[in-house]
Amino acid sequence: MGQAGKSCANAIANSDMPQTEQAALLRSRQNLSPLAGLNTDARRTKVVWLGLTVSVAILVASLYTIVSPQGAAPSEAPENPARRMIASISSMVHTTAPSERAARSPRTYAEAESLLFDAITALREGSLHRAESTVNVLLQKYPNYQLAHLIQADILRARAGQPTHIGQENSANPKLAGLLTELHARLGKYSEPAIDGKRPEPFVQLSPQVRFAIAVDVSRSRLYVLENAPMGPRRVMDMYATIGASGSGKAKEGDKRTPVGVYNILSAIERDKLSDFYGEGAFPLDYPNVLDRRAGKSGFGIWIHGVPKETFARAPRSSEGCIVISNEDLKTLTPYIQPGSTQIAIADSINWVPAAQVSKEEHGLRRAIESWRIDWESRDLNRYIDHYANTFFSDKVSSLDEWRVVRRSVTEQKNSVAVNLNNLTIAQLPSSQDIVLVMFDQSYKSDTAETTMRKRQYWQRDGVRWKIIYEGNA
């Protein structure tokens, strides 16, 4: 267990979740719409309803604003009870979202989050009643879902005519602030760009031997599971994910940042070998990798892991650098991970590009790789070495000159060389547009030897030329 992980363990204070009393609630709430009795003239009732209306309007407006950044919040509280407000909220949803789709809850594979979105959608549509019963179902199934408790609290506060927490900025209470940022992050699903038919930019190509990969979009607090489909990597699901308290771009031990890059998931640690803090399991990443170490980056113990039992999820930025997901999500994620070969790309922001699109750079890279292979077979040392950058290093050599010496002695002994590359994986590093991870199975046959190995290279683009800056075993 890494040190970063250990310090993670202190980040959340343990506390017992009080028992909920949801059962009675569900039993008795049918048809008790808060809108019953709107027609009364009783002054007191009107006052109560006005208070309620204003609170609901604020709650709905804040959700609306979060969900649709371009949308305008209602500028004034309607004078008359909830019905008018509901009508105006609904109409606003329709005006900014011409397609019906946007008014619905976003698709999400996880039951808990789906229910959460259903409740939010009900709120946006002005139905406190439906929102509350949905939250109650959610809390019956996931009694430790703090954010759902907060939404429940706000619905009740709206009913009581009190100001809601949602919509208030800059809470001084760190736990409340954490939940509000979690809500904000999750609501990003409502404004998710179209992803179907696209691949995340970092994964250009995945080896046919690999079925799945993972991408993390830091700006969206989202982890995507990708399937290696014939047309290219495509999303099969995504989940809310927590990253480092100080954000991304890990450089130093203890900086509470999550690294940006493409990493290998090294292993799987089962629940019973971990403290409760890590929840349902953990998957260590290979940070710092060869490039990180070369760049002087430090720190270790960057894992994907779950959460303690009494916690459903953590605030979007609250880990020591690990990627933390709910236990429910961790259990879902586990079968998609093949320890030792699954790649994870972590980016500040993931660009989704049409799966079939092949960039000029990509063409250039593929030609460069093929040219390197051919030049290696030609046994012309200069042509071969010309594919390596001046900054080249490997696990055995630290400079291009050393490499040249090594390769000369090897090449001069051969009369014939045949090289085949299979099962190519190409991943563009999110940290640098110009550096690409290339992995392949290399079959090598010469008059003296025959080997097969999985190899890893980093290629860097300098103008139009791609050159190898690192080569080693994968």
Contacting positions for another protein (CB under 8 A): 15-18, 20-21, 24-25, 28-29, 32, 36-37, 39-45, 48, 51, 146-147, 149-150, 152-157, 159-163, 165, 173, 175-176, 179, 310
Q: Which of 361, 379, 387, 406 is nearest to 457 (CA)?
A: 387
CB of 17 to another protein, least distance (A): 6
CB of 85 to another protein, least distance (A): 18
Query: Which CB sits closer to another protein, 173 or 473?
Result: 173
Q: Which of 75, 168, 185 is nearest to 120 (CA)?
A: 185
Query: Which CB sits closer to another protein, 154 or 280?
Result: 154
Rounded CA gap, 439 and 233, in Å? 16
Query: Which CB sits closer to another protein, 66 or 223?
Result: 66
CB of 397 to another protein, least distance (A): 54
CB of 300 to another protein, least distance (A): 30
CB of 323 to another protein, least distance (A): 23
Rounded CA gap, 201 and 269, in Å? 29
Query: Which CB sits closer to another protein, 310 or 348?
Result: 310
Query: Which CB sits closer to another protein, 148 or 437?
Result: 148
Contact 244, 256 (CB under 8 A): yes
Query: Which CB sits closer to another protein, 18 or 335?
Result: 18
Query: Which CB sits closer to another protein, 227 or 310?
Result: 310
Helices 111-124, 128-141: crossing angle, 10 deg rounding? 170
Query: Which CB sits closer to another protein, 42 or 406?
Result: 42
CB of 438 to another protein, least distance (A): 47
CB of 35 to another protein, least distance (A): 10
Give me the half-sphere count of Cα atoms (radius 13 Å) on the Cβ side of residue 74. Answer: 26
CB of 32 to another protein, least distance (A): 5
Query: Which CB sits closer to another protein, 36 or 405?
Result: 36
Query: Which CB sits closer to another protein, 16 or 196?
Result: 16
Strands 281-284, 317-319: parallel, antiparallel or unpaired by DSSP?
Answer: unpaired
Query: Which CB sits closer to another protein, 173 or 398?
Result: 173
CB of 313 to another protein, least distance (A): 12
CB of 73 to another protein, least distance (A): 15
HEC sequence for the chain: CCHHHHHHCCCCCCCCCCCCCHHHHHHHCCCCCCCCCCCCCCHHHHHHHHHHHHHHHHHHHHHHHHHCCCCCCCCCCCCCCHHHHHHHHHHHHHHHCCCHHHHCCCCCCCHHHHHHHHHHHHHHCCCHHHHHHHHHHHHHHCCCCHHHHHHHHHHHHHHCCCCCCCCCCCCCCHHHHHHHHHHHHHHHHHHCCCCCCEEECCEEECCCCCCEEEEEEHHHCEEEEEEEECCEEEEEEEEECEEECCCECCCCCCCCCECCEEEEECCCEEHHHCCHHHCCEEEEECCCCHHHHHCCCCCCCCEEECCCCCCCCCCCEEECCCEECCHHHHHHHHHHCCCCCCEEEEECCCCEEECCCCCHHHHHHHHHHHHHHHHHHHCCHHHHHCCEEEEEEECCCCCHHHHHHHHHHHHHCCCCEEEEEEEEEEEECCCCCCEEEEEEEEEEEECCCEEEEEEEEEEEEECCEEEEEEEEEC
CB of 141 to another protein, least distance (A): 15
CB of 157 to another protein, least distance (A): 4
Query: Which CB sits closer to another protein, 176 or 195?
Result: 176
